[in-house]
């Protein structure tokens, strides 16, 4: 993919409801590179909750709406690996053997996760303007295994001279959120989140970063409940704050 003139930005439900500042930071990072960002106002959920719950027809209904709202040829940048994976991997499966199969495949080809877009497509060069800080980096399951974009987040952070990046023990294990998994298996989910949150605390980092709002919401709540004393932030917001001019 070559550098485009403009992109569509898909904000995700959690960014809309919980972390809107992360979405704004992601759009600003793109626009700073000379790429115009359009945010379709009628976008809704990607359909993951219904899909993961086995409600395939409801998920198809949601997917078809996104196909309409996000129609076009420009890249679709998504600040969430799991939502990007829903578009790129699961829409073609969900809508296979339907009249929307071709549209689903074409949309999937346009999808790119935000960190991957900044690193691989825009090849951004970042100048760190913040004080020295240690951060723990949590890469979501979708970033690691479904979208395979985890290295992009690390490469972006490695450009920041004042940032010491640490990886918690058992970094490749799930945080326990897993969308509807946290509702279906609350005790298992809580135990997984507790293990993950404690492993982050053991790094001594005062800040946890991730490209996944679901993981951040889960680990932020767990860390607060366990009184572990670190903050959480979406990587887009952190990158924007660290690289702003005075």
How far apart (Å, rounded) are the C-alpha atoms in residues 192 and 199? 11
Starting at the edge strand that comes first in sequence, how are the strands of the sheet with 163-166 ordered? 163-166, 133-138, 207-210, 231-234
Query: What is the model's pLDDT at position 182?
Result: 83
Pairing of strands 111-113, 36-38: unpaired
Query: What is the model's pLDDT at position 120?
Result: 97
pLDDT at 1 over 90: no
Query: What is the model's pLDDT at position 95?
Result: 98
Q: Which pLDDT tens digit goes with each residue over 211-242?
A: 999 999 999 999 999 999 999 999 999 999 99
How far apart (Å, rounded) are the C-alpha atoms in residues 182 and 49? 11
Alpha helices in 111-149 (DSSP H): 114-116, 141
Q: Which pLDDT tens digit goes with each residue over 41-76?
A: 999 999 999 999 999 999 999 999 999 999 999 999
Give, to the nearest 10 degrees, the angle between helix 235-242 and helix 150-158: 20
Q: Which pLDDT tens digit goes with each residue over 158-215?
A: 999 999 999 999 999 999 888 788 888 999 999 999 999 999 999 999 999 999 999 9
Starting at the edge strand that comes first in sequence, how are the strands of the sheet with 36-38 ordered? 36-38, 6-9, 76-78, 111-113
Residues of the chain with CATH 3.40.50.1860: 133-242
Query: What is the model's pLDDT at position 178?
Result: 83
Query: What is the model's pLDDT at position 146?
Result: 94
More confident residue, 156 or 1: 156
- Residue range 126-151: mean pLDDT, rounded: 96
How far apart (Å, rounded) are the C-alpha atoms in residues 126 and 33? 11
Query: What is the model's pLDDT at position 55?
Result: 95
Give, to the nearest 10 degrees, the angle between helix 20-31 and helix 235-242: 50
pLDDT band at 125 (very low <50, low <70, confident <90, very high): very high
Query: What is the model's pLDDT at position 48?
Result: 94
Of the options 3.40.980.10, 1.10.3720.10, 3.90.1640.10, 3.40.50.1860, the CATH number for the domain spanning 133-242: 3.40.50.1860
Candidate from 40-49, 86-95, 127-136, 169-178 with smallest mean pLDDT: 169-178
- Residue range 36-45: mean pLDDT, rounded: 96
CB 152 within 8 A of CB 120: yes
Residue spans of beta strands (DSSP E) within 85-204: 111-113, 133-138, 163-166
Has domain 6-121 been given CATH number 3.40.50? yes
Query: What is the model's pLDDT at position 246?
Result: 53
Query: 19-30 burial by CB neighbour count: b if 16+ within 10 A, else e?
Result: beebbbbbbebb
How far apart (Å, rounded) are the C-alpha atoms in residues 225 and 244? 33
How far apart (Å, rounded) are the C-alpha atoms in residues 57 and 64? 11
pLDDT band at 88 (very low <50, low <70, confident <90, very high): very high
Q: Which residues pair with 77 in a beta bridge?
A: 9, 112
């Amino acid at each position: 993919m070559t550098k485009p003139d403009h992109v569509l930005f898909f904000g995700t439900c959690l960014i809309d409801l919980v972390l809107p500042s992360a979405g704004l930071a992601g759009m600003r990072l793109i626009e700073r590179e000379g790429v115009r960002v359009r945010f379709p106002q009628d976008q809704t959920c990607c359909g993951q909750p219904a899909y993961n719950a086995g409600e395939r027809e409801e998920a198809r209904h949601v997917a078809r709406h996104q196909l309409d709202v996000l129609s076009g040829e420009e890249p679709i940048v998504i600040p969430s690996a799991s939502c990007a994976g829903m578009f790129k991997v699961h829409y073609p499966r969900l809508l296979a053997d339907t009249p929307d199969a071709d549209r689903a495949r074409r949309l999937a080809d346009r999808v790119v996760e935000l960190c991957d877009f900044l690193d691989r497509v825009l090849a951004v060069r970042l100048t760190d303007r913040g004080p020295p800080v240690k951060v723990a980096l949590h890469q979501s399951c979708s970033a690691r295994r479904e979208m395979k974009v985890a290295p992009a987040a690390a490469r972006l952070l490695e450009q920041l001279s004042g940032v010491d990046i640490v990886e918690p023990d058992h970094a490749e294990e799930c945080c326990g959120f897993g969308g509807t998994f946290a509702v279906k298996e609350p005790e298992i989910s809580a135990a997984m989140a507790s293990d993950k949150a404690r492993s982050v605390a053991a790094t001594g980092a005062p800040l946890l970063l991730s490209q996944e709002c679901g993981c951040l919401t889960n680990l932020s709540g767990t860390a607060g409940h366990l009184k572990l004393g670190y903050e959480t932030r979406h990587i887009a917001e952190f990158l924007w704050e660290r690289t702003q001019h005075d």
